[in-house]
A and B are shown apart, each in its own frame.
Chain A
């Protein structure tokens, strides 16, 4: 394996193109949020189902959180793999930033899902956590990234930290798919498409899909925006830190 190059290659950015994409994401998200909260009565009037009522709008937020989390988890694992192959310091920054965003979106997904279930399915009870397979899997994934960050703080040498953390990230990544196999056999699910619940495609009203599909694209775009900005900010921060290092 090559040694980590101390000089961090800055990610190449085509500024005008980047600004255009950023503007598109911002406008797109604005429209999605307006659509999600449209109570106009004629535009995007969602069907009122007993018990769900207007909480059904949570679909536009809760589900895209999972899609985004899965996407950014893949990004994190990919960059950890590339770090081991190439030893470029930028890969470590990318893997770490992606992991941080996976935690953020995972926690948001857990919070929206848990609140949703509490006020609909478990209305009148005191249940917040129901051992749903998808919920447990997300919680474990967040815990894994928590362990990943704990491991990072235990290592001082930057080159070693990048390499060892990448090994742990990849090692954890291969054990997660087992949860997909094991968990649904042990726990019951409230989610669509599991244990006699109708699948998503059968029960979702076409009106809701008008907002739902763009919401997925929008949240992934938002995540991409946060990700790229954090990566570039981190590169600059590390350069400044390097400037303050005493020259021996």
Chain B
């Protein structure tokens, strides 16, 4: 109970801070919109296949995650609140709280990207529930991997563009499965039946990533 309470407290604290400054939300919203505009202009009036559409959507989502979700631990480090957090909580509570926060923010951002994408790019969604399920499972895996990597880069002295470098090779299985399932939901030939394997892979990926993170997090968090 204490564990759950503390994890939720970390989540609520991050939510309050975010609502007060609105930094991540503003940056992410503008980033997603401008990235989609770039895609839109690059594609032009060309009719692109459902496979390519799914690929473009997930590239935008991936870059948005690398830009927006990486800050969760860096801000603690910058504002000098790490020690206080370490004093009052254990590693797994912090991880759970930050994971939930990243999941919520990621879900919001990805829903926004999807909405704008569907509106602007003339996308035909044939299986909306499949698309939403894919987005949720994909975001869960994405948040799981990004949270521990964000904790890792918060410990480094030279950050720069380190997060995408660390993140992208690890997310290849997630990206491939998510694109496959999204392709099916945008009028792909297989439908639900063909999406079962990628959905299973997405679910298992999220599970493995989060489990490993819980096991390894203390080594990153504690000195």
A interface list, Cβ under 8 A from B: 1, 84, 140, 143-144, 146-147, 150-151, 153-156, 160, 163-164, 166-168, 170-172, 174-175, 178-179, 181-183, 185-186
Contact = CB atoms under 8 A, between A and B. Distances in A.
10 contacts: A146-B165, A147-B166, A150-B162, A151-B152, A151-B162, A164-B152, A167-B216, A171-B149, A183-B173, A183-B176
Interface string B192-223: 00000110010011001100110010011011
B169 interface: yes
B155 A164 contact: yes
A154 B158 contact: yes
Interface of B: 145, 148-149, 152-153, 155-160, 162, 165-166, 168-170, 172-173, 176-177, 180, 197-198, 201, 204-205, 208-209, 212-213, 216, 219-220, 222-223
Contact of B197 (A160, A171, A174, A185): A185
Contacts, number: 92
Given A150-B165, A154-B156, A164-B155, A171 B177 contact: no
Contacts of B222: 1
A140 B169 contact: yes
Contacts of B162: 150-151, 154
Given A147-B169, A175-B170, A186-B180, A170 B155 contact: no
A168 B212 CA distance: 11
Where chain A touches its partner, the secondary structure class is helix
Contact of B148 (A147, A160, A171, A182): A171
Contacts of A183: 173, 176
Given A175-B208, A186-B176, A155 B219 contact: no
B173 A179 contact: yes
Contacts of A178: 173, 201, 204-205, 208
Contacts of B160: 154
A175 B209 contact: yes
A181 B176 CA distance: 11
A140 B172 contact: yes
Nearest to A141: B169
Contact of B156 (A164, A166, A185): A164
Contact of A160 (B153, B155, B168): B155
A154 B157 contact: yes
B92 to A, nearest CB: 15
Contacts of A154: 153, 156-160, 162
A136 to B, nearest CB: 8
Contacts of A140: 169, 172
